[in-house]
Chain A
């Protein structure tokens, strides 16, 4: 009977293809949206874990979070070390991580920081060690793989975050370490000491003795006349979140942004888009169900003699009911399979685009939880769409139909 159901669907190829296409688009859209949204949430949450506050120059708080935590936007500006020190030494601060950035290489950002950054993201070395002097860098796993660099490789950083930026020809960086994959933003960064970033932007009036030999210094040793781009802060207790951001925003020239609040705001904005696209996906699935229903109903009208004939050959009404149901379920299964493939293609396309633009890739090979749920939903759609046509087949009045042949 399954073979017959397949042959019947093949016989009405165009209407079958239309229904399959509609189902595939609906399922593909839902699968794509949920995959992207889950992976974005997951990635965002992993990068933000353990960071209670970000301090930077005044401007958009979301921009500060995106640039300092996720390294996907331009910085709001720089802040003086002398001001940052007030936060670093604040009694409610457990630890802080200075960040200095603005240069890049091969499209990957060069970030000046200290060893706490590596510890914060749980980074371990696949080869080499951390920087011990100025102009030494550690590469994230993705950077090393993409730029095909190894220990001892040299390169000149370029000014700005674009690949076409002006190169800093006067000094080159040396790779001293490569990190294992962390699944965080650290994979996509070139990390070095803060003094390296200061050295590369060295100005003649600045004292040479201030530029070198500070690689392992912690934040409270940075020179007061220098600047950093941002400061990632972890508080000792929730009291810090209550008091320190207000103090910074009201009493200093800096701004404090709370990642949890800003990212929730971003989720809300993106969420509307995701929900809308997801709703459109489900709507298309409903239209597909209607298409399956109409296609089965039309097909049954054409095949009423066939059904009567099958009854005369000994088929029970239940068998005809099952045949129509099988046709619908088969069609839905094919639509589901094509939908999952379509979703994967869309994810791969977006991933390629995201990799080029933001070094942010989305990978989804295994069947996700939502895709597992989509299977019974699709089959349910198939059963609902087939119910009336199948009942009609069940109630076929063979004698009347055959008399009118």
Chain B
């Protein structure tokens, strides 16, 4: 489902990264561990098509992301990739539920309120669906963020430091939810983090 080959990236300031080849199928999860500056976020952005690699390819469901031009890549990303960010960013002016609807709309998909509600229910935050993101706790925001990543039925979910800001209890909770929900929906999950607490929670892991 997702594979990379000879992926590398050069920053204009001089930093150069070469990444190991990845190969992950649907329902699988992979933990990418690394210290600060090891290129974890760079890898995640390359996998999401947010940056162009210096060399190599990123293939999702047979489509080489690198070869897609701007708008086609945006559309492909919206339809096939879900992203969970470290600080769970949202559009602040609308509710959690509307944020989920917006994600589908931006991906060019029709509204699916039932799926949005069932995801929020699965993640235990149905009661917060009409709240503004700013009214949610950090843990609730992170769960809402997972729901948003899945509401487009993506093939791959990429999570960037999803537990760094959480205490042990919440970090374990979010990691479990992430794995269970994402793989449960048949998507592949890649988590990049420096959080060593997650090391034993994933069967497959690599260190950069």
Q: Write the residues of chain A forming the contact surface with B, with a CB cutoff of 8 angstroms.
A: 1, 4, 7-8, 10-11, 303, 305-306, 308-319, 398-399, 402-403, 405
Contacts and interface: CB of A to CB of B under 8 A. Distances in A.
Nearest to A314: B78
B108 A314 contact: yes
B58 interface: no
26 contacts: A8-B93, A11-B93, A305-B89, A306-B89, A309-B90, A310-B91, A310-B106, A312-B77, A313-B103, A313-B106, A314-B108, A315-B74, A315-B78, A315-B106, A316-B74, A318-B71, A319-B106, A398-B50, A402-B45, A402-B50, A402-B85, A403-B45, A405-B85, A405-B86, A405-B87, A405-B89
B92 interface: yes
B91 A314 contact: no
Interface of B: 41, 45, 48, 50-51, 70-71, 74-75, 77-79, 83, 85-87, 89-94, 98, 102-103, 105-108, 152
A330 to B, nearest CB: 13
A305 B133 CA distance: 14
A4 B50 contact: no
Contact of A317 (B50, B70, B92): B70
A309 B82 CA distance: 11
Nearest to A319: B106
Contacts of A403: 41, 45
A314 B77 contact: yes
Contacts of B78: 313-315
Given A4-B102, A319-B106, A405-B86, A312 B91 contact: no
Contact of B89 (A8, A309, A315, A316): A309
Contacts of A8: 93
B90 A314 contact: no
Among B41, B79, B102, the most chain A Cβ lie within 10 Å of the Cβ of B102
Contact of A312 (B70, B83, B93, B98): B83
A314 B74 contact: yes
B145 to A, nearest CB: 10
A309 B91 CA distance: 8
Contacts of B41: 403
A69 B89 CA distance: 72
A314 B85 contact: no
Given A306-B92, A314-B108, A405-B86, A399 B51 contact: yes
A1 B102 CA distance: 9
A399 B74 contact: no
Contact of B75 (A7, A308, A314): A314
A326 to B, nearest CB: 13
Contacts of A308: 89
A314 B106 contact: yes
Nearest to B160: A402
Contacts of A315: 74, 78, 106
Among B102, B106, B152, the most chain A Cβ lie within 10 Å of the Cβ of B106
B75 A309 contact: no
Contact of A313 (B71, B86, B107): B107
Given A314-B75, A316-B70, A403-B45, A7 B93 contact: yes
B100 to A, nearest CB: 11
Nearest to A313: B106
